[in-house]
Every structure is written in structure tokens, then in C-alpha cells.
Amino acid sequence: MSFLLTKKCRRPSPAGQPLPAGRPSLAEQTPLAKQEGGFVLLITLVVVLLLTVIIFEIDFQSRADLRAAGNFRDDLSAYYVALSGITGEKAILKDDLTNNGTVDHLGEFWAATAPPFPVGEGDVSGKITDEAGKFNLNSMLDANDQPIPFKRTQLENLFRLLSIDITLVDPIIDWVDRNDQTQSNGAENETYQALQFPYSVKNGPLKTLEEMLYIKGITQEIYQKIAPYLTISTDGKINVNTADTLILQSIDPTSITESIAKDIMKGVPYNDVGKFYTNGLPQGTYKVNLPYTTLFAVRSDIYLIESRGTVRNTRKTIRAIWNRSTKQYLYFRVE
């Protein structure tokens, strides 16, 4: 018994368990050892935090890459869906040229707006518009680079019908003519060079209709209002079978009121210009010294083709101006 009392025993641990041999208890540890243990714990927490941040960053980047890849896939798919619409509409125009090429009017199949049609994983819709039913800004000048009076008056009439300032016709003429003579309310190079961000006047035909936005006084609002009635791609003759009522009224607003313009459209299709001139127009309309055959037509070769492709939440719109006789694009834009 005395042996048991005199034998050295290890100090029990705080939890009642013996400590490993040679390792001091917390109470026996030095302050330096305590600091080292706290530092190790801090390092461990920092490492865990960094690993967590890295994992979240990798996850976020992976998700972002997947979304970007999905958006690219849908964007490309929507483009090709829209392009398929352009191809289909070109085929419709080709068929019309083959079977009904002498007269073009709004009662033909090509003039109908195509409802959404399923293509692959998306759908396509579109429409075809006859550019010859519009007023051509590049046809306003004669061989001597002077404004054709009838054309100038018709554009002024169109502006007036749309409640647009008719003095804006002058800077349009100055933009497309090849001389430096300024119209009464026009603008030549000195006007554009005096701007904060100067540029030169075109002094030549418009290459795209959007180029009008460079012309003095043509704001975005005015452009959006007038653009549906204008073109730059035709020979200047207006197809009376596809012209809007405002275009018909602009020929002579005094003689051709809105109701008369609608009556003229009821006579469509006119098989030749002479029939339109004698039976369509009111008596006394269009008194100018120009053959009406140089101003009006009953067919067209230039068409605006619009096609919209939709794949999931992505849309692509293609606007193309197509010459169906020469089979050439005059304009092609993807939006």
C-alpha cells in the first residue's frame, strides 16, 4: 500500500483522460506554445477561406462560360434561322418573276406578311416590301445636276403630309447634288465643317438610307417618320400598284385626297402606266412637262426583304434589298 502511495502518477487530463506521454497539459504550456497553436489555427482558417473563395469563383466562372456559350449558340442559330427566311422570300420573288413578272401589286403572294414558322429550335417570320412603291431620293436631279421640279414638289408634298418641315428638302438636295451651290435653306460644306465634330458634305448619291441622319436638320425622330416612304435603290419610277396612299397623295395633294388615293388603290392592279394615268388619276392631275412613263411604273425588280429569326430568348433580324433580276444584294444588314 505504501508503494502505491509513494508511486508517481501522471496528472489526469481536464477531460479525465491521461495525456500522451511527454506532452504537457494546457496549464503547463508556455505562452509561446499557446501563440503557435493559435497561429496554426488562424492559418488553417485562412486556407479554408481561400479554398472556399476559389471554389465559388470557379463555379461562377463556369456558369458564366456556360451562359456565354449558350448565348453564342442561340445568337448564331437565330441568325441562320433569319437567313433561311431571306432564302425563302427570295424564292417567292423568283417564282413571281417567272410567272407574273409583267405586273407587281399588293394582291400577290409575295406581299403577304409571313406569320412565325417553326424552323429547327426556333421560328422565322418576315415580309417583303416593293422599293418601287417609295420615293427615291437619288432620282431628284436631272442630267445637269439640277432638281427636277416635279420631284422636288412631290418630296415637299410628302413632307407636308407627314407634318415635317418642307425646308428640309433643300439640305437633302445639297447633300446629293455634285455642286457647291447652296439651296435657299440648304447646307453645303461650310455648314458641316463648322460643327463641333466636322465632316464633309457628300455631294453625291446616298449609299444607304441611314446616311440621311448626317444631313442638316434630319433628326432620328424625323428619320423614323419619313424612312418608310423613301428609297435609294430604284430607277426612280414609282410603282403605282404598290405605292402607299401618302405616296399617291404626294403626286398632287390638291387633286388626290386621302379618299381619292384609296379609290385609286381599289383599281389595282393597273396593267400599264397609261391605264393608271387615264383611269386612275383624277382629271387634271399631274400637269408637268415630263412623260408620265418616266415617273410611274406597274412592276418592280427591287425589294426590301425583312426576316426575323427567334431561338429561345434570342432574336436576329436581317434587312436586305434584293434585285431579283440581277440576283444581287444592294443592301444587307443584321440587327
Sign, Cα dihedral of 6, 9, 15, 17: negative
- pLDDT tens digits for range 49-105: 888 878 877 777 777 767 777 778 888 999 999 999 999 999 999 999 999 889 999
Terminal C-alpha separation, the chain: 101
C-alpha cell at 189: 460644306
Is residue 330 a part of any domain in this protein? yes
Burial track 229-249 (b if 16+ CB lie within 10 A, e otherwise):
bbbbbbebbbbbbbbbbbbbb
Is residue 86 a part of any domain in this protein? no
Tell me the CA distances in angstroms from 266 to 166, 215, 242, 262, one per residue in order: 30, 37, 12, 6
DSSP state of 85: H
**Domain region containing 157:** 128-334
CATH number, position 327: 1.10.40.60
How far apart CA 89 and CA 95 sit, in angstroms, is 10
Is residue 81 a part of any domain in this protein? no
Q: Using DSSP bridges, classify how beta strands 296-297 and 302-311 pair: parallel, antiparallel or unpaired.
A: unpaired
Residue bearing cell 427636277: 148
More confident residue, 17 or 335: 335
User: How many C-beta atoms lie closer than 10 Å to residue 45's C-beta?
Assistant: 10
CB of 311 closer than 8 Å to CB of 80: no
How far apart CA 315 and CA 313 sit, in angstroms, is 7
How far apart CA 188 and CA 170 sit, in angstroms, is 10
Instruction: Specify which residues 128 forms β-bridges with.
Output: 305
Which residues have a Cβ under 8 Å from the Cβ of 176 and sit 6 or more positions away?
Answer: 137, 138, 140, 141, 202, 203, 204, 205, 206
- pTM, entire model: 0.79
Is residue 31 a part of any domain in this protein? no
- pLDDT tens digits for range 23-58: 555 555 566 555 666 677 778 787 788 888 788 777
Q: How many structural domains does the chain have?
A: 1
pLDDT over threshold 50, residue 6:
no
Is residue 176 a part of any domain in this protein? yes
Of the candidates 141, 143, 214, which has an alpha carbon nearest to the alpha carbon of residue 183? 141
Is residue 110 a part of any domain in this protein? no
Is residue 280 a part of any domain in this protein? yes
The rounded mean pLDDT for the chain is 86
User: What are the E-state strand segments in the chain?
Assistant: 114-119, 122-130, 135-136, 230-231, 238-239, 296-297, 302-311, 314-323, 328-334
Instruction: Specify which residues 318 forms β-bridges with.
Output: 307, 334
- pLDDT tens digits for range 125-183: 999 999 999 999 999 999 899 999 989 999 999 999 999 999 999 999 999 999 999 99
